[in-house]
Structure 1
Amino acid sequence: MEARLNFFGNGVGAKFLRHINSAGKVISDSTLPAATQELVKIRASQINGCGFCTDMHTKDAVAAGESHQRLHLVAAWREATVFTDAERAALELAEQGTRVADAAGGVPDEVWANAAKYYDEDQLAALVGIIALINAYNRINVLVQQPAGDYQPGQFG
């Protein structure tokens, strides 16, 4: 399978990606735990059906020391006992932020309040940013039908 468009190559797509990658660097350098960042990216990517990002972020998480058990349970995080309450709050915020069109009024106040119990303002800003960013990446990859399965950790820097 080949992508419809080499969005990652030279031109407008590459310029666009350089800019959003800069935003991603700000988030990755935040105090939001790295494990939480990967879990959020994986869950949003699963919801959006983005195989490329699901492949990338599960592999990156393993390379960073995340357990296979937790990764296998991300889609069923509500029933799984392997996530902290803070991670559960981040996963719920990621789901609600990814499915924002499904609920009139957007993300429910109780979901936001639950996340705010575990994360300070900078971490909440990083969570909002990472949810928005991964949703943008998911949409790019789904639109261009970016193939999944060949990503190697460290491939993009």
Structure 2
Amino acid sequence: MTSRLSYGNPLAIAFVKHINAAGKVVADSSLPAATQELVKIRASQINGCGACLDIHTKEAARAGESSVRLNLVAAWREATVFTEAERAALELAEQGSRIADAAGGVTDEAWANAVKHYDEEQLAALVALIALINTYNRLNVITQQPAGEYQPGQLG
């Protein structure tokens, strides 16, 4: 597959630079790194973004995430390997990625469950992360960015 658009053009460079900076703010938050990767993977599965799945599954594995957990992200409801906090984050990620599928977007129940497990900063980071990964997914899917060649550590 060949990409429809190069991220090397000046406008794309400027835009991606800004969303990367926002991503750094989230990455540096107190939201657990494992939770961050799980959320990125689940949203990318929902959105069919092979490029992001390639990146985030490899980065999660590099950070020590088990293959069992990585393989079960899509079936997290039935899997016993995720904490209640991670489940709350994954539910929020699903609902936040599928806003058009439900009237009103994220349910009060999903939000209340997330509030049980995360403090105000972590909730802000979680919401920002869901918005960011959905942005990356859309950029990559629209422009047909290829997947499979990512080498762990390329992101910096």
TM value normalised by structure 1: 0.98
User: Partner of 1:2 in structure 2?
Assistant: 2
User: Partner of 2:98 in structure 1?
Assistant: 99
User: Partner of 1:77 in structure 2?
Assistant: 76
User: Structure 2 regions of 5+ residues with no counterpart?
Assistant: none
User: Partner of 1:141 in structure 2?
Assistant: 140
**1:19-62 CA distances to partner (integer Å, 9 max, x unpaired)?**
00000000000000000000000000000000000110000000
Task: Say which SS state the counterpart of residue 73 (structure 1) adopts.
Answer: helix
Letter in 1 for 2:147: A
C-alpha RMSD over aligned residues: 0.6
User: Partner of 1:44 in structure 2?
Assistant: 43
How do 1:9-24 residues align onto structure 2 when only pairs under 5 Å count?
9-24=8-23
- The percent identity for this pair of structures is 74
TM value normalised by structure 2: 0.99
How many residue pairs were aligned? Answer: 156
State the shift of 1:2 in Å. Answer: 1.1
Partner Cα distance (1:24, 1:63) in 2: 19
User: Partner of 1:60 in structure 2?
Assistant: 59
- Deviating runs (4+, > 2 A) in structure 1? none
Letter in 2 for 1:4: R
State the shift of 1:78 in Å. Answer: 0.1
